[in-house]
Amino acid sequence: MQKLVIYGGKPLSGEISISGAKNAALPALCASLLTNDTLTLRNVPDLKDVTTMLNLLKQMGVTILTNDQSEMELSAADLTNPTAPYEMVKTMRAAILVLGPLLAHKGEAIISLPGGCAIGLRPVDQHIKGLQAMGAEIIIEHGYIHAKAKKLIGTRIVMDIVTVTGTENLMMAACLASGLTILENAAREPEIIDLAQCLIKMGAKIEGAGTDVITIQGVKALHGCTHDVMPDRIETGTFLTAVTASGGEIHLKGAQAGTLDAVIDKLLEAGAIINSGKNWIHLTMNKPLKSVSLRTAPYPAFPTDMQAQFMALNSVANGTAIITETIFENRFMHVQELKRMNAEITVEGNTAIVHGIPRLDGAGVMATDLRASASLVIAGLIAQGETIIDRIYHLDRGYERIEQKLAQLGAQIARIN
């Protein structure tokens, strides 16, 4: 099993390019199931989760042509197997996103229930409830969702909780439903807007994406298009946090500051100097690092996917930070690993109290999930001595060539077997 070795303790400096967003690429890939025409996607990141989704679509019968590392053409014209088996779904929960498109375009879908998730419960009941409201017949047996619908019917759906994948699934399904669908209490993430823009290029009639009420007027058919996947805002935030924590300077190309307002506000509070343009962000950190308290919540509030990275930052900041996690109940698993590096963190329920110390000590640590992995990388970069991170396959799910990019910034980092 591969590990990451980091010799930390020095500032980072340099320029890197931000990859396409994993959480925008995955639903866009599933949108290919809504048409018999070819969907061309550009700026697709080379990640484990993307590979898993491509393999899932291929076994359904989707034809996929890769033009270069980040561009691909997908055609579901010869789709023969509307099934998502447990073997694939268990490794990537976003596989549930094939449910809505398959049901809307092909009239049936057999999708494995996702099963457990390390960071907490991620129920799919809102997906099922919404599709049933649109007229789908759904039976759950032997761990699989069996869904059928001759034709989905537009309706008003009020989601009990804010769910990103639930909003995406129902939005895609509604594109081919008869009549008007109104999604209330919809997720507002930038990735929702990116998917809506892709669907609109395919001929969908969608309004309100990015607000908590999305309306979709169903159409008879969608056609192909070319769509550029948005930059990854969490990768962007992770690199900005790493440089803020370690000191130094970074210029990010292909980054969109407007998708990261809550994170940038906290980095400014920590002492960073940040400038940005349409497709770039520049950060300089040459002041003493200050602790920043935060509370995670659905977009546009502070993202749960950046909580672990800020835990690492706060571990060496001046002062005490209070971090409250409201999204996932098990998303403090990185705390025990940070404490192995001498971090002073106390957890009380869904709140962590972080007392900043002058430095972390390098140590052997184990990654438990994707964002916990990122926090340990940041901790390794700011620690004195050698840090060895085990189970780094989690990193490959959401960060494209992270060690190469960090090496461009002067980090001493290497992957070993």
Q: Are strands 273-277 and 280-285 parallel, antiparallel or unpaired?
A: antiparallel
> Catalytic residue positions?
117
User: Nearest 5 degrees, angle CA 100-CA 101-CA 105?
Assistant: 120
- State the Cα angle at 392 between 303 and 386, rounded to 5°: 100
Matching residue, tokens 């890197």: 16
Residue 240: what are its φ and ψ, rounded to 5°?
A: -60, -40
| One-letter-per-residue 3-state SS of 186-209 | CCCCHHHHHHHHHHHHCCCEEECE
Chain centroid to Cα 38, Å, comes to: 25
Collapsed DSSP state (helix, strand, coil) of residue 407? helix
Burial (0-12, 13-18, 19+ Cβ within 10 Å), 254:
middle
CA distance 214 to 228: 22
Gap between the Cα atoms of 105 and 172, Å rounded = 10
Tell me whether residue 192 is exposed, middle or buried, using C-beta atoms within 10 angstroms of its C-beta: 0 to 12, 13 to 18, 19 or more.
Answer: buried
Output the six-digit token pair for 354.
Answer: 């972080």
- Of 344, 307, 325, 385, give the one whose Cα is nearest residue 5: 385
